[in-house]
Structure 1
C-alpha cells in the first residue's frame, strides 16, 4: 500500500486472483466458515493478550479507536454484501508496532503504536479503519491467500514476524493475523479498491476524507526506517496518494452531505 519498504519476510508471493474466491469456497473456506474461524482466533487472541497484560481496554487511545469504530460500523454494515452479518469487535494491543487490520467477520485489531507514534487524528484513524474494513467487507483475504494458506501459513508467518514484534502476542494473534495474510501484500488492484472504499466509508461516517491523504503522507515518511509492519503489507507510492486525490472530490461531496 504505497512504495514497498524492505520487508523482513523471507519469501515473496505472487497470486493470480482469478478464481481464488471460488477455490476458497470449494475448499470449505466459505464466508461463514472464515468468519467463524476468525471469531475463534479473535477470542483466543484477546485472552492471551489479557494474560500477557498487553490488551488495552481503557486508555485514551483505546477510547478513540473504539469511538471511530462505533461511528463507522453502521455504514460498513450497509456495504456488506458477503451474505453473512459481521459482528464487529475491537482488540487494541499495547505495542509500538505500526499495524492494524480487520479479520473476516469484522474482527478489528489495532496496535497502539500506529496511533501514538504517528500522532493520528481521529479522522486519520478513520482512514486506517475504513481501508481495512473495505478489505474485510470485500473479502480480499480469499483472493490473497486462499483456503489452505489460512491454516498453513500461520506457523510460517509467526516465524517471519517474530522479529517484527508480533511474536510477543502469542500463537492466537499470529493465527488471526494469518487469516488476513498479515505479512503478505495485497495486489495493487485490491489496494486500489480498499483505498477508494475506505475513502468513501470514512466520508459517509462524517470524517473528513482529506485525512486519508495526510495519513499516507505520514506513512511515506517512515519509508526506509524499518520496523513498520503496516508498511510492509501496505506498499506506499506517490501514485497511490495521487489516485486518492483524484477521488477526493467524490468523497468530499459525501462528507459535505453529512454536514447538512
Structure 2
C-alpha cells in the first residue's frame, strides 16, 4: 500500500506505462539480463500461481540486505524524531497481530519463517503500512487511529503487506525496471540507460514512489486474507477495512486509492475470497 504524500506524479505515470510492457521485454531479454521465469510462493488455498520474471541482476539476498539497511535508517530517523513506537500499547498490539500472521507464512513459503522479521509503529498521520523485502514491517499511527481499525482489520492490512514481501513484488518490479531499461537502450541504441542505477535507489523507488500494479495488489489482497484467516482473524474484515478506506478523506479520493484497484472491484473480490476462507478461519478457532 502506498500513501506517501511526496509521490512523484510524473514518475508514477511513467511507471504505469513501462510496467505494461515489462514482462514482454523481460522474456525477450533472458540472455542479456538473466531474467527468467519463476514462482516465489506456493499457491495456498487462494490459488496464487502466476509466473513471475526475476533478473539475476537483482539477487534476493542482496535486495533483502539493502532493505534491512534502509529500514534501519528509517527506524533510526524515526527514533531521533521521537516518532518510533510512540505508544507501548499500540506497539504491543501491532507486534502481536504481526507475529500471529508471521506464524502462517509457511503455507506460502516455508523459508520466510526464518526471515529476520521486524515490526515497528511510526507516528504519522498517513494511513499507511508496508513490509520491505525480508520482513521489515512498519505500521503508521494514522492507519490505526484515523480508521479506528479493529484487530481483524489490522490483520487484513498487515497480512496484505506481508504478502507483498512473500511474493517478492519489490524484486519483481526492480527486475522489470532493469529489463525495460536495458531493452529500450538496446532497441533505441541509447547510452546511459537507467538500468545501471544503484539497487538501493531502485528499491526505494518501487517501495515508496511508484504504485504497485493491480495484479500485485490483488495477489497481496488474496494472500493477506488467507494469512489472516489461518491466524484466527475474521477474513471479512478486509472488506470493512477497504470500505473505511474508500470513505476516508472526505469528498475527495484519498491518495492511496489512486494506486490500488477501484474500491468496487476490490471489495467485490474480497467479499468472494473472504467467504472462501471462512472454513480456515473457523478451523483456527474463529466464530461466524
Which bin holds the TM-score, normalised by the shorter protein? 0.7 to 0.9
The Cα shift of 1:61 comes to 2.1
CA distance in 1, matches of 2:100, 2:163: 15
Question: Can you list the C-alpha shifts for 1:140-195, whole angstroms capped at 9, x where unaligned?
Answer: 1122233877xxxxxxxxxxxxxxxxxxxxxxxx9797265223222222211111
Q: Is this contact kept in 1: 2:221–2:270, CA < 8 A?
A: yes
The Cα shift of 1:8 comes to 6.1
The structure whose Rg is larger is 2
Question: Can you list the C-alpha shifts for 1:216-240, whole angstroms capped at 9, x where unaligned?
Answer: 0001102675695543433432011
Which residue of structure 1 aligns with residue 130 of structure 2?
101
Which residue of structure 1 aligns with residue 169 of structure 2?
140
TM alignment of 1:97-246, pairs within 5 A: 97-146=126-175, 178=204, 180-222=206-248, 228-246=254-272
For structure 1, which segment, 136-145 or 76-85, has the greater mean C-alpha deviation from structure 2 after superposition?
Answer: 76-85
| Secondary structure in 2 matching 1:119 | coil
Which residue of structure 1 aligns with residue 47 of structure 2?
none
Q: Is this contact kept in 1: 2:103–2:113, CA < 8 A?
A: no
Which residue of structure 2 aligns with residue 161 of structure 1?
none
| 5+ residue gaps, structure 2 | 2-6, 28-34, 37-52, 179-199
CA distance in 1, matches of 2:175, 2:250: 30
CA distance in 2, matches of 1:132, 1:180: 14
Normalised by the length of structure 2, the TM-score is: 0.71
Equivalences, count: 231
Which residue of structure 1 aligns with residue 39 of structure 2?
none
Q: Is this contact kept in 2: 1:31–1:84, CA < 8 A?
A: no
For structure 1, which segment, 77-86 or 47-56, has the greater mean C-alpha deviation from structure 2 after superposition?
Answer: 77-86
TM alignment of 1:19-30, pairs within 5 A: 19=26, 22=36, 25-27=55-57, 29-30=58-59
